[in-house]
Amino acid sequence: MIVVTGGAGFIGANIVKALNARGETDVLVVDNLERGDKFRNLTDCEIADYRDKRDFLTELMAGQYDGRIRAIFHEGACSDTMNHDGLYMMRNNYDYTKTLFAFCQQQSAQLLYASSASVYGAGRVFEERRELEAPLNVYGYSKFLFDQYIRRTPTRGQVVGFRYFNVYGPREQHKGRMASVAFHFFNQYRETGQVRLFEGCDGYANGEQRRDFVSIEDVVKINLHFFDHPEQSGIFNVGTGRAQSFNDVATATVNALRAHEGRPPLSTAALQKEGVISYVPFPAALAGKYQSFTQADISGLRGAGYTAPLYTVEEGVSRYVACLAKQS
């Protein structure tokens, strides 16, 4: 059996679908469906069973899964960077993950878990090194602390942490304001003919803050690469190694929709001039807690043998918009 925690969520459901494509259907999805709309992510997936995250943990500790689990893809977590409830965040993200780690060590099962690029905070260098890590919020700290736990704990068998950068793609519609900017830009343009970006901050011009935007298609491929290579362990950045602006994402989204409508692409400057791309004041609530620049150093990922090319914003967003347009 393969377990996917957060399996009804964005990354988890895409992993389940990819496992199905390989013929893997003995998949146990663990999640929390108090927000029931996430079930839609699984309607085209084949799974063996579903367990609530609390019930699963109780059953796991009671020995009900001993000898039954090959691997755990641990994608379940509270990823809301604006949630400041540290007690909940640490129990849900840190303590839960430690329990799964202990089980996998005892059972010799593979553990592939979600970390986050938020561990780097406001830094400008994104290498998997302790001295470069300084999270800005309790979500980032919960991810950072488990990475630290793994670093200082002797392990046997595979333990892999993935520091996801800005992931976008299908099956994220349930995330609301935490969905990717590509998703929000798509919906804004469809509804109003415009997309709205933040004004400049931290020395960046309007919409020129830069992130490493990575397609869910690449994220899933990387997960499965390590699943196929259980001899590989470590903590790895999962991004493209390229920083692209929010203006780039907006332009790629609008032009993909224009292509869908049979219209030619326009430059960012032209879209700004026509008022298609506009800007709103930078939120005061994000001051000092916002990463204006991220760019994954993926030399560790490449050194671990992952050699496949990674989609640019223009390539990946175009593919994503095609999926969204087909669904709407």
Positions marked active-site = 139, 175
8 vs 5: CA distance, rounded Å: 8
Range list of β-strands (E), 242-317 = 244-245, 277-280
What is the CB neighbour count within 10 angstroms for residue 265?
14
Alpha-carbon 208 to chain mean position: 22
Q: How far is CA 109 from CA 71, 99, 112, 146, 173, in A?
A: 5, 13, 10, 18, 32
- Provide CB contacts within 8 A for 48, sequence distance 6+: 1, 25, 26, 27, 28
Helix (H) or strand (E) holding 21: helix 10-21
Cα distance from N-terminal residue to C-terminal residue, the chain: 35
DSSP class of 43? T
Measured on CA atoms in the order 26, 31, 36, 41, is the torsion positive or negative? negative
157 vs 257: CA distance, rounded Å: 46
Q: Could you give phi then psi for residue 172, rounded to 5 degrees?
A: -110, 5
Q: Is the Cβ–Cβ distance between 164 and 214 less than 8 Å? A: yes
